[in-house]
Amino acid sequence: IGAGFYFVKKRGLPLLKMSDIVGVTIPLGLFFGRLGCLGYGCCYGNVCPEGFPLKIRFPAIGNKLIGYTPAFEKHLLEGLVTSADKHSAYIYPTQIISSINGLILFFILYILFRKKKFDGQIAGLSLMLYAVSRFLIELLRVEPHFLGLSVSQWIGVGMFAFGAAIYAYAKKDPLRSRS
């Protein structure tokens, strides 16, 4: 973020206009990034009910370098599986949900980008939409909690506020934000 901000300022590019472009494209990166999480086995969900239709599980061994996959290791430490088991317990497919979320956000923001009324609108909306959707996905994830929320949920609260501030600032004077 810092390098991007420096580049935009150094080149004299319009910050809010460039932020809108980034706001559209970041969710596409999240789509691919969360597929990487699925491949590695990190960012996994909580154990889900037996009858949940979209459950997944991870193999015990990821590869010879890392040993156990993260979900299997956690379940082993919690006593949900034994070292003789070949897979983790069934869990919510949060990596897939997060990946699809990124793709949906990309398409929504792309459509809105083509109809935007002022520079900064898409950047603000991108932060707010991602914050809300990530907050909800976190309800299915395994993550430490602080004061009732996960770290990612607290970050989402801040991200939403920052996105709302960008949106409000940019909307005040659309002509100024286009310069």
How far apart, in whole angstroms, are the C-alpha atoms of residue 177 and residue 179?
6
Average pLDDT over all residues of the chain: 88
pTM recorded for the entire structure: 0.84
For residues 167 and 124, is the Cβ–Cβ distance under 8 A? yes
Rounded mean pLDDT of 62-73? Answer: 74
Phi, psi of 144 (to 5 degrees): -60, 150
> Is the pLDDT assigned to residue 34 strictly greater than 90?
yes
pLDDT at 179 over 80: no
**Is the pLDDT assigned to residue 121 strictly greater than 90?**
yes
What are the DSSP calls for 37-53, one per residue?
HHHHT-S-B-B--TT-T
Q: Which of these, 140, 104, 80, 93, lies nearest to 31 by C-alpha position? A: 104
Per-residue pLDDT reduced to its tens digit, 77-109: 999 988 888 899 999 999 999 999 999 999 999
- Name all contacts of 174-178 with Cβ < 8 Å and 24+ positions apart: 174/117, 174/118, 174/119, 177/14, 177/16, 177/17, 177/118, 177/119, 177/120, 178/14, 178/16, 178/17, 178/118, 178/119
What is the per-residue pLDDT for 178? Answer: 47
Angle at 105 between CA 101 and CA 109, to 5 degrees: 180
Residue 23 CA, chain-centre distance (Å), reads 13
Q: Residue 61: what pLDDT? A: 79
The two tokens of residue 130 are 């991602």
